[in-house]
């Protein structure tokens, strides 16, 4: 699957040919079609590869009744940053964005299968924290875009300008820590969030 991620991330959805993926893997084009009906299905599998690998971890984390909600949220944010900046999802961000207008069914598939489940996990942990008294109810406890949106925006920004000679260099780890601090200042006002 990483071969498909590589080819799609380098060439984009429209320019990628199934032949290119097959050649990189060292198999024939018909062999690819044994597993995927068409290029769209291959791209869907590539686009969801990273999230599919992460979801068992996410489900187990969310289900862990002994883990405090703030620790769950911190680990979810760490996982999201890792996937969007070091994983296959980050590599495919520009291609996923490209598909939004030209191939809306592919973008809708990604949103409906990956993003919705991740969004629900984040919101579920925040709501759990509110019900446990760890977090306070705020706009953030019902609006996942306020929590996850900055990650997507930074990932897209980085991928959009990566080829420019004077591109801005963002310290992703520092951005993650700053983002996490902002979230916890809103959800845990007072001394709890000062860490």
pTM of the complete model beyond 0.85 = no
**pLDDT class for 121, splitting at 50, 70, 90?**
very high
Handedness of CA 60, 65, 66, 67 (dihedral sign): positive
Quickly tell me which residue has 């709501």 as its tokens: 127
Cβ distance 151 to 81 under 8 Å?
A: yes
pLDDT at residue 88, as a whole number:
82
Domain ranges of the chain: 47-194
Instruction: Give pLDDT tens digits for 135-193.
Output: 999 887 788 888 999 998 898 888 777 778 877 778 889 999 999 999 999 999 875 54
Domain 47-194: CATH class, spelled out? mainly alpha
Alpha carbon distances (Å) from 78 to 36, 71, 72, 146, 148:
32, 11, 10, 16, 11
CB atoms within 10 A of CB 54: 20
């Amino acid at each position: 699957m990483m071969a498909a991620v590589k080819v799609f991330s380098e060439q984009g959805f429209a320019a990628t040919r199934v032949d290119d993926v097959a050649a990189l893997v060292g198999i024939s084009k018909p062999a690819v079609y044994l597993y995927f009906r068409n290029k769209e299905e291959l791209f869907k599998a590539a686009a969801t590869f990273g999230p599919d690998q992460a979801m068992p971890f996410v489900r187990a984390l969310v289900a862990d009744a002994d883990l405090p909600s703030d620790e769950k949220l911190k680990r979810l944010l760490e996982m999201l940053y890792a996937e969007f900046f070091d994983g296959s999802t980050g590599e495919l961000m520009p291609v996923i964005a490209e598909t939004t207008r030209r191939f809306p069914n592919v973008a809708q598939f990604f949103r409906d299968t990956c993003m919705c489940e991740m969004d629900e996990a984040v919101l579920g942990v925040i709501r759990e924290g509110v019900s446990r008294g760890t977090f306070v109810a705020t706009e953030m406890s019902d609006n996942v875009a306020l929590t996850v949106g900055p990650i997507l925006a930074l990932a897209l920004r980085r991928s959009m300008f990566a080829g420019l000679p004077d591109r801005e260099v963002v310290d992703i780890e520092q951005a993650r820590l700053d983002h996490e601090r902002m979230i916890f200042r809103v959800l845990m006002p007072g001394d709890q969030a000062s860490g």
